[in-house]
Structure 1
């Protein structure tokens, strides 16, 4: 019944999103990423702080700052409900020719279980390699990590690996040997067909590959969009793609939209259009949509 109802809604260009609640998150004034544990229980973060909250905004748990959570989109929740997150580790500070100082980091991938215990899954210790975003597959438990290598010029890729860190696949190039990514900012997986969907702000596109890494398509906005600057991305229970994007080039003209696409990247409808800044979103297994708006989460059905 839910699927039939949802399908009938998406045939119309006026999708009836209904705001059901607003969750205020104390201590986070610029929400960058939301991960659902269960309906009404969320992990919420910016690039400094990570908190678990309930549907009223009550803080259930705060990640200890000793783990140095510093990624805007550096956490995800596994199919078992465990938090998986990226933590920055400073290994040395070196002087530069300009009398400045440069810091060298490695990155740990940690897991927190429901009882709050934290273990290190593996470490990314390749020089000048930094993870930007992460997603835990709800199909097979693999981790999908968007990486940037600070070479000259910088290069980006997506790594699929097991929970132990054993690499399964690097995704970098399309069939014409062209680089797929410029800056992978958000990443998700389509639970229906296994596609890997990356929001790439520098490329101004959603980059979609199959589970084997083969390039399927880039989505660069609808013909009615004045411009397309993608932000948070997720998929719903039917495998449709939801993406936040920014339109306009000044504070007065800027609007924030959520577009709905089918699995092939075809535009279906605009779900939301607001002046208030939207950054990230996710969908739970009841098809509730959680949207990060500065220090609040708006919940839609």
Structure 2
């Protein structure tokens, strides 16, 4: 919104639900409603943003994200027998494992020393020495749209589920036998999935190309559909293309969308829309990729442009960029957080590496020690051939 003298007043609609890409506008002077046409979806939506004919707008009321110093962020409360956790000013690189011939589009921790990594149509289980333990080539891949998505996930029993190339969701047994867990739908494509650590349900992000809209389904442990999250309180679609999905400690469903205009869409456990990030345009284009949450309920999300990791408060405020050394040709695409070891695993699409960082300081009051990640005392760099 700009006033008649050309002064910027405020941003009005930031990635509006149901539209995502506004294209055309028309204002009705009789009803004071704004009609907005979408670039896609064959849709026109009507909004009210003034309560009277003449609206007084205070420039000082424009709200901007609160940016805090990373060294001053401290969690309130503490776990039993533990002192409060806080973010470290300089994250420590613990280990870097090179995964040859595969971009790390998504990673998921199995244990403190095993990781599932996927790239395009490949799925690989590696240990922290860089040794391949299992390999599959039957993942779903749609080259017409893109490859970045959470195509596999690990449950609390370290069982693997992944999106098969036939668009079904398969589960892998301990004997490495693949069986169908969720059958493909008639209209929706399975696009990403995540095992809930709270309810042990499977959250699945889906995409429909005909309408350029997305949806999140929740399935219980037997594969029964128990919840559908698709619309906000006004009935407009929340998602365009869910690429990555996770949850927070309070059960919030967190979705990262990469298509054209990146965004992080957060709903509560019941599916009520809480917020969308960014709440206000940044100085750069936000293209969100891999996402995870940590023990402090922060939301961490990869930004492919210019190649950084955002740390968000659980209520959506931008806190800081994770201060790790990232070169232009080392853009992070995937994240996975190890709760027991407080280690953040970062996958790169460019240099084919998975690296472990410690960025949360946590002192155990009983032992006086900090939980260790693999290779904590020695920086190792392994290569898969």
> What interval of TM-score do these two structures reach, taking the shorter chain for normalisation?
0.7 to 0.9
Structure 2 unaligned residues grouped into runs of 5+: 1-77, 142-146, 359-385
Partner of 2:231: 173
CA contact (8 A) 2:212 2:241 kept: no
Q: Which stretch of the first structure deviates more once superposed, 283-292 or 163-172?
A: 163-172
Indicate the SS of the match to 1:138.
coil
Match of 1:150 in 2: 209
Q: CA deviation at 1:165?
A: 2.6
Contact map agreement 1:221 1:227 (CA 8 A) in 2:
no
Could you tell me which residue of structure 2 aligns to residue 96 of structure 1? none
User: Match for residue 228 of structure 1?
Assistant: 286
Shift of 1:288: 0.7
* Aligned with residue 271 of structure 1, among 304, 322, 329: 322
Q: 1:204 to 1:46 in 2, by over 3 A?
A: same
Residue number in structure 2 paired with 1:19: 93
Are 1:116 and 2:176 counterparts? yes
Q: What is the aligned partner in structure 2 of residue 262 from structure 1? A: 313
User: What per-residue deviation string (whole Å, max 9, x for no partner) do you get for residues 230-283 of structure 1?
Assistant: 111000122111111133xxxxxxx21111112111222211362221111111
Aligned counterpart, 2:54:
none
1:200 maps to 2:257? yes
Instruction: Name the SS of the counterpart of 2:85 in structure 1.
Output: helix
Q: Tell me, which stretches of 5 or more residues in structure 1 are unaligned?
A: 90-106, 248-254
1:125 is aligned, of 185, 191, 194, to 185
Separation in 2 of the partners of 1:122 and 1:201? 24
Per-residue CA deviations over 1:167-195 (Å, capped at 9, x if unaligned) read 111111101112101111111111x1000
Q: Which runs of 4+ in 1 moved over 3 A?
A: 1-6, 221-225
Aligned in 2, Cα 1:144/1:150: closer, same or farther, shift over 3 Å? same
- Structure 1 distance, partners of 2:254, 2:152, is 16
If you compute each CA radius of gyration, which structure gives the higher value, 1 or 2?
2
Alignment deviations for residues 83-102 of structure 1 (CA, whole Å, 9 cap, x no partner): 1111022xxxxxxxxxxxxx
Matches within 5 A, 1:76-87: 76-87=153-164
* 2:45 counterpart residue number: none
Q: Aligned pair in 2 of structure 1 residues 222, 41: CA closer, same or farther (>3 Å)?
A: farther
Structure number with higher strand proportion: 1
Looking at both structures, which has the greater relative contact order when contacts are Cα pairs under 8 Å and sequence separation is at least 6? 2
CA contact (8 A) 1:155 1:182 kept: yes
Tell me the equivalent position of 2:115. Answer: 42
- TM-superposed deviation, 1:81: 0.4
Aligned 8 A contact 1:45 1:51 in 2: yes
With the length of structure 2 as denominator, give the TM-score of the two structures.
0.65
Distance between the aligned counterparts of 2:179 and 2:296, measured in 1? Answer: 33
Q: How does 1:91-102 map to 2 (within 5 A)?
A: none
| SS at structure 1 position matched to 2:158 | coil
Q: Residue 252 of structure 1 aligns with which residue?
A: none
Distance 1:284 1:193 in 2: 17
| Rounded Cα–Cα distance in structure 2 between residues aligned with 1:20 and 1:68 | 30
DSSP-derived class of the 1:165 partner:
coil
8 Å Cα contact 1:160-1:169 kept in structure 2: yes
> What is the Cα-based RMSD across aligned positions, in Å?
2.0
TM-score (norm 1): 0.82
Shift of 1:225: 4.2
The residue correspondences of 1:247-258 to structure 2 (distance < 5 A) are 247=305, 255-258=306-309
Deviation of residue 162 (structure 1)? 1.6
Contact 2:202 2:221 in 1 (8 A): yes
1:221–1:55 distance in 2 versus 1, CA, 3 Å:
farther
Once residues 222 and 114 of structure 1 are traced to their aligned partners in structure 2, the CA distance between those partners, rounded to angstroms, is 46
CA contact (8 A) 1:259 1:267 kept: yes
Instruction: Say whether residues 1:290 and 2:290 are aligned partners.
Output: no
